Amino acid sequence: MRFGFTEDQQRFRAEVRRALRSAEVRAAAAEATGADGVEPDARPLYRLLGKLGLLAVHWPVQFGGEGRPLTDAAIIAEELVRAGVPDTFHVNTVQIVGQFLLMAGNDEQKRRYLPALARGESFASVLYTEPDAASDLGALRAVAEPDGDGYRITGTKVFSLKTRFVDLGLCAARTTPGAGKYRGISLFLIDMGAPGVTVSVIPGVGDEHFHRVDLDSVPVSGDDLLGPRDEGWPLLNEALAIERTGLDYHLKAEHWLQAALDALIDGDPGSSHDDRLEQIGRWYGALTADHVLAWEVLTGLASDRIDQVSTAVAKYHSSELAQSIAAWAVGIPSPEQRANRIRAAVTLDSAYREAPGLTLSAGTSEVMLQIMAAAFDSIGQEEH
């Protein structure tokens, strides 16, 4: 169990903080932050972060990284959020699709895609969820039909983020229909500018927009198959566990609680807010535990240990905590006049609209509970 950081990690964190305090980064982060349902283009900010070498430090040098440990990448992720950098591009491009390429891609695919992702010159999104499949990827219907040396993919994907800004999609599709619910699924890298790809916005209340992606016989080459054909399900299971560190949700919870405290102070600077102190203390205690859970998963991943139960616990706890803090903060008064709204109030307004989706993405809370329950049931059977 980790309860502190090494001196090297603390020095590295200080270096990252200094880089993120520059006037150029602060201005770009402000321009990239959405509010009131408006989603700006965050790519200029990420190109700047790429020039500073702050996007993929744990990747091998030959693929655009610095060969640093995964824990250093987690430190950067923490400091990006604390510096006001919207994190979705980082989560999707680097932490999910980039990590998937490192895990399952061949050397040619890594050389083709990873350096541009690390420089902030290219961006990626995940195309898993479908209108009738919800969180059950075993119910997906998108089909990849053989076409010469490649495939043509047809289907519809929903609820992806930043998709209208990205160049690359990691898509799950069936290459052997009828093989079984969790069999015959393959993974592909799709050029989002290819013929047959149509991206549209799904109306919603969040500042980040969900998208619908219609794939109409989209051509992909055999070189765009990621991992073995029909072996997508085991890869997806492993990748989802890596995705569920809980750190990104923890950082949202931390950011939203700080915004709530700023709003309290701004609303009544002279008050000690005694009626809220107990709950605030409970939130801080929960955040501390949440941070330990996330870093327990991260240190395991850094040692090539993937524990499905630990990741489910971390994801469940962090997403539920962030959602609870956002709901609690609704009771904090804020100025009525939009022109007078402080930054904290804008953040909390955005948080309330974003929070419901946190317990759905990367696996619903119900799925996380099922994973935990199955593990406990297995332990009980072994004891008897």
Domain final residue pick, 101, 122, 143: 122
Is 141 inside any structural domain?
yes
> Chain-centre distance of CA 61, in angstroms?
23
CB neighbour list of residue 379: distance below 8 Å, 6 or more residues apart = none
| Residue bearing tokens 């994907």 | 157
299 shares a domain with 219? no
pLDDT of 338 above 50: no
Go through the chain and tell me how many residues it has: 384
257 shares a domain with 203? no
| Residue bearing tokens 């980039």 | 98
> Chain-centre distance of CA 228, in angstroms?
25
| Residue bearing tokens 């524990």 | 307
Summary count for the chain: helices (H), strands (E):
13, 8
Is 2 inside any structural domain?
no
Cα–Cα distance for residue pair 114/102, rounded to 1 Å = 8
pLDDT reported for residue 336: 53
- CATH classification at residue 35: 1.10.540.10
Task: Please give the single-letter amino acid code of residue 192.
Answer: M
pLDDT of 337 above 50: no
Highest mean pLDDT among 118-122, 347-351, 355-359: 118-122
Output the six-digit token pair for 274.
Answer: 């005694």
276 shares a domain with 221? no
Q: Is 280 exposed, middle or buried (0-12, 13-18, 19+ CB in 10 A)?
A: middle
Output the six-digit token pair for 383.
Answer: 């004891």
* Domain total in the chain: 3
pLDDT of 300 above 50: yes
Cα–Cα distance for residue pair 367/313, rounded to 1 Å = 11
- CATH classification at residue 188: 2.40.110.10
pLDDT band for 2, please (50, 70, 90 cuts).
Answer: low
**What's the mean per-residue pLDDT of the chain?**
90
pLDDT reported for residue 382: 64
Cβ atoms of 122 and 116 within 8 Å: the answer is: yes
137 shares a domain with 101? no
Dihedral sign computed on CA atoms, order 135, 42, 165, 172: negative
Cα–Cα distance for residue pair 299/32, rounded to 1 Å = 31
Is 1 inside any structural domain?
no
Domain final residue pick, 71, 88, 122: 122
Domain final residue pick, 236, 270, 296: 236
DSSP H or E segment with residue 378:
helix 365-383
Cβ atoms of 158 and 214 within 8 Å: the answer is: no
Q: Is 307 exposed, middle or buried (0-12, 13-18, 19+ CB in 10 A)?
A: middle
- CATH classification at residue 363: 1.20.140.10
State the residue range of the domain holding 308. Answer: 244-383
* Sheet strands (E) in the chain: 124-127, 143-147, 150-161, 168-174, 185-191, 197-202, 210-220, 225-226
110 shares a domain with 42? yes
* pTM, two decimal places: 0.86
Q: Is 107 exposed, middle or buried (0-12, 13-18, 19+ CB in 10 A)?
A: exposed
Q: Phi and psi at residue 219, in whole multiples of 5°?
A: -80, 135
255 shares a domain with 374? yes
Cα–Cα distance for residue pair 134/86, rounded to 1 Å = 26
pLDDT reported for residue 168: 97
Cβ atoms of 326 and 352 within 8 Å: the answer is: yes
pLDDT reported for residue 341: 61
CB neighbour list of residue 195: distance below 8 Å, 6 or more residues apart = 218, 219
pLDDT band for 343, please (50, 70, 90 cuts).
Answer: confident
269 shares a domain with 358? yes
222 shares a domain with 337? no
152 shares a domain with 131? yes
141 shares a domain with 98? no
151 shares a domain with 93? no
pLDDT band for 36, please (50, 70, 90 cuts).
Answer: confident
